[in-house]
Every structure is written in C-alpha cells, then in structure tokens.
Structure 1
Amino acid sequence: MSTLAAAETSASAAPAKIIQPAWVRTMHWINAVAMILMIMSGWQIYNASPLFDFTFSRDITLGGWLGGALLWHFAAMWLLMINGLAYLVTGFATGRFRKKLLPITPAGVIGDVKAALTFKLSHDDLTVYNYVQRTLYAGIIVVGVLVVLSGLSIWKPVQLHWLVTLFGDYPTARYVHFFCMVAICAFLVIHVALALLVPKSLRAMIIGR
C-alpha cells in the first residue's frame, strides 16, 4: 500500500473531532426547552395585565389561564436558573467563554456583519466563532441575567425590594422583563436561521461532531 493510500485510510478511520462537548449539548437543549416554556407561559401572564395595546394569541401561549401559566413559568424558571447557572460556572471554569467569545472588537463585528449581509461570512471552521456569533452569544448571556433579575423583582417585589430599586421601580422592572423577552425571541429566530443555513452546526449540537 502506498504512503498516500495509507495516510488516506488512516484519516478516514480517525474519529471525527468533537466540536461541542457533551456538557454543552446537554445544557444547551435544557436551556432551549426551559426558555420556550417560559416564553409561552410568559405570554399568557402578560395577557392578564398587558403593558401595551395588544395581547398574544392563546394558540401560542401556555397554561390556559393566569394561574396555570404561573405554574408553568415558575417550574421552567427553576429549571432555567439551575441549568443556566451551571452553564455559566462551567463555561467560565473550563475557559470556554474566554476562548469562544473573546476578543470582541468593533472593527471585527462590523467586518463580519458586512460579510454576513453579502453572504460571504465563512462557516468552514465550527470550532471558531465569528464576531457576529461572539456578539450574539455574549449579549444573550447578559440578557439572560437581566431577564432573571427582573423576573425575580416582579415575582417578589416586597421581599426583594432592593432588587426592584436597582431597576428603578416595579413598572420599570416589568418593561425590562418584557424587552428582554423580545431580545431572547429575536436571538432564537436568528439562532435557528443560522442553524438551518449551516446544517452541520446543528448536527454538531446534537451528536457533538
């Protein structure tokens, strides 16, 4: 067997590189389920006392009524908080956030946004996040922290009055919570769209390779 043929055989026999470790995949899908449950139940809660001149269709809400929606919302909240905290601690402890999300520079973001808008943004190496991905993922972590803190303020405004004060007052905490939800929904739309445009990234989040 020639050297070239032997090399090709060895390369084909080698296992595919792990792109997304098991802990990332597990926590990612738990977060996704918890977030969808919270959004749908949150829309039902919003309908009970709307902030704006519209309500969400009952077809896309969860809980059936305010009491049922609150039960779903609180159950998903604990799941999201525990899993999200574990994800943050593990991400910082393993250095994944530092390696994946930094650095983020204005020039890099602008350059990659231009490349994305002209369909020239490369997705060849799934182990490296481009500046658009880094900005989105870092931003959604900040939004996730804000949505939890504002949610706690709304849930326990008397017991956590100091937290409400950080947002200014109770109505402001509600608005912050609502717009964080909007930001999360926008992120999910972009995230799913990118996954559909680059199917191998979705496969990596399912099987790791």
Structure 2
Amino acid sequence: MQADSDTAPQSPRAAIHPLTVRIGHWINAFAIVIMILSGWRIYNASPLFRFEFPDGLTLGGWLAGALQWHFAAMWLLAINGVVYVLYGIFSGHYRRSFFPLSPRVIVREFANTWRGRLSHQLGSYNAIQKLAYLIVILLGVVLVLSGLSMWKPVQFQGLAALMGGYDGARLVHFFAMAGVVGFFVIHVTLVILVPRTLLPMFTGRAPRAHASPNSEP
C-alpha cells in the first residue's frame, strides 16, 4: 500500500544547485583562474602602473605563452558564460536567485554584516551575495568587451572608442580584472569560513536542516 504523500518520509537532503549551475560554476572558476594568472604575465610585459606581479603567481612563462593561455581561457569563459546566462534567464534561475533586490535590503544586510549577523542559508542568497553575483557577471561582460577592444582595436574600433581607445580599454580591463579578483578572494574566504557550502557545489544537495525552503527543484 502506497504511503500518503503527507506522511511519506522526505529525503534527508534537499536539492539546492541544479546540474547546469554547478557545471557552469566550475568551468567559470577554472577559466577565470587561468585568465587572471596569464593576464598578470601579460601585464608584466608592459605594466600600467609602477608595480609588477611576482613571476610565481603568473602563467605562461613569457608573453607569447601567456597570450596563448589567456585566449584559450577567454573562449572557454565566453562560451560557457553565454550558456550560463541564457540558462539563468530562460530557466528562471536568475529571477528566483537574484531578485527581488532593493537598496533598503542591501543596506540592512550590510548593517547585519557589520554586526557579525550576515544571514546565510544553503540554496538561498542573501542581499549581499545577490549584489556580488550580479556585479561579477557584469564585470565578466566588461572583461570580454574590453579584451576584444585590445585584441582587435581596428575591427572593434567603435567598441574601443567607447572605452577611450586602446589605452582606455587596458585600464578598463585592468580594473574589471581587479574587481573579479576581489570577488574571488572574498568568495574563497567565505567558503573557508563556512565550509558546508562547498560540498553542495559538487553534489547539488545539502541537509534539509541547512537548506532554504525556497531551494530550486
């Protein structure tokens, strides 16, 4: 005899991260790390400011090698990013995960963070997380557009002109990269501080006691 749906035992683990989101997340992470390290080697070949990145933190060995790594990771990031964004829009993932988001809620969450009361529930983003993810998605778009402006300044001269020419595009690219690095550092730090958030990004599931009731199906 089949148990009534109201009394049937529930799985002790809830689904919180769809497979597409998990795959996209790890591909993005891999591509971004490659682009950052190879980008630092490219920067060292012609620094914008009076500092260089330590050779041990760069990838490519020399300018040509770094460019090869950078472009390979760029195509991976761009293709995966398009798939990830389209999925997020048409599946409703972005709508469910990142909205609604209001300035008042953001200010309140920053105040809670200052008091050491930042809210966090697996499968649900607080206002600061929503804002950070939206910003890093925009930064990714800026990185690709500014990178195209530097790679093909003649073919994409209109785009390059919007960024102040080749030199302006370099500055835009550098500061967008700095923003992504900042996000990456904060993101990894929070994972270290709250390690239970890591495993669900592999399995897609988390204990129901820690999962949001609004987790994705």
TM-score (norm 2): 0.88
Q: Does 1:89 align with 2:102?
A: no
Give 1:112 shift.
0.6
Q: 2: CA distance between counterparts of 1:40 and 1:25?
A: 23
The aligned counterpart of 2:122 is: 126
SS at match of 2:74: helix
**Structure-1 separation of matches of 2:178 and 2:123:** 29
Amino acid paired to 1:195: V
Per-residue CA shift, 1:43-101, capped at 9, x if unaligned?
A: 00000110000111100000000000000000000000000110001000101111111
Using CA pairs under 8 Å that are at least 6 residues apart, name the structure with larger relative contact order, 1 or 2: 2
Q: Which residue of the other structure, out of 171, 184, 188, is the alignment partner of 1:188? A: 184
Pairs aligned (count): 199
Name the counterpart of 2:3: none
Structure richer in helix, relative to its length: 1
Structure 1 residue ranges without an equivalent (≥5): 1-6
| Deviation at residue 15 of structure 1 after TM alignment | 5.1
**Equivalent of 1:49, from 46, 49, 54?**
46
User: Which amino acid letter does the alignment assign opposite residue 131 of structure 2?
Assistant: T
Which residue does 1:202 correspond to in 2?
Answer: 198
In the TM superposition, 1:88-167 aligns within 5 A as: 88-123=85-120, 125-167=121-163
Using the TM superposition, give the Cα deviation of residue 197 of structure 1 relative to its aligned residue in structure 2, in angstroms: 1.9
| TM-score, normalised by the number of residues in structure 1 | 0.92
**Percent same amino acid at aligned positions?**
50
Cα deviation digits, residues 158-203 of structure 1 (max 9, x gap): 1111110121211111000000000000000111111122222211
